[in-house]
Amino acid sequence: AQSVTQLGSHVSVSEGALVLLRCNYSSSVPPYLFWYVQYPNQGLQLLLKYTSAATLVKGINGFEAEFKKSETSFHLTKPSAHMSDAAEYFCALAGTALIFGKGTTLSVSS
């Protein structure tokens, strides 16, 4: 069965620090993977996607993610956090529908 696991329901960083949000997946077929961000009382906004092209994927707002098949991971990173990055982040796997992880809330302190 396909599944997505996000490690850490809450991550706190200081402004300017590295952001690392972890995502592991389980899939019997080559996966399509996505990261979405959700701000309070908003829908989901696509940050980036992996579709079996380059393993290092660059997205919006300075985020990027690396697909590692051997580790079944698709971790999201950003070199320098900004206050505006505070939000909830979801990793998702495309199956017959999107399968979401439980989400990670990112807090950024000044």
Partner 1 sequence: KAGVTQTPRYLIKTRGQQVTLSCSPISGHRSVSWYQQTPGQGLQFLFEYFSETQRNKGNFPGRFSGRQFSNSRSEMNVSTLELGDSALYLCASSFTGTDAAGYTFGSGTRLTVV
Footprint on this chain of partner 1 (rule: CB under 8 A): 32, 34, 36, 41-46, 49, 51-52, 90, 94, 96-103
Q: Which is closer to partner 1, CB of 14 or CB of 51?
A: 51
What is the rounded CA–CA span in Å between residue 102 and residue 29? Answer: 22
Shortest Å distance, C-beta 15 to partner 1 = 27
Torsion of CA 28, 29, 30, 32, to 10 degrees: -90
**Distances 59 to 27, 44, 62 between C-alpha atoms, Å:** 23, 15, 6
Q: Which is closer to partner 1, CB of 17 or CB of 86?
A: 86
Structure tokens at 82: 């900004």
**102, amino acid identity:** K
Q: Which helix (H) or strand (E) holds 104?
A: strand 104-109
Shortest Å distance, C-beta 16 to partner 1 = 30
Shortest Å distance, C-beta 10 to partner 1 = 13
Q: Which is closer to partner 1, CB of 59 or CB of 62?
A: 59
Shortest Å distance, C-beta 95 to partner 1 = 9
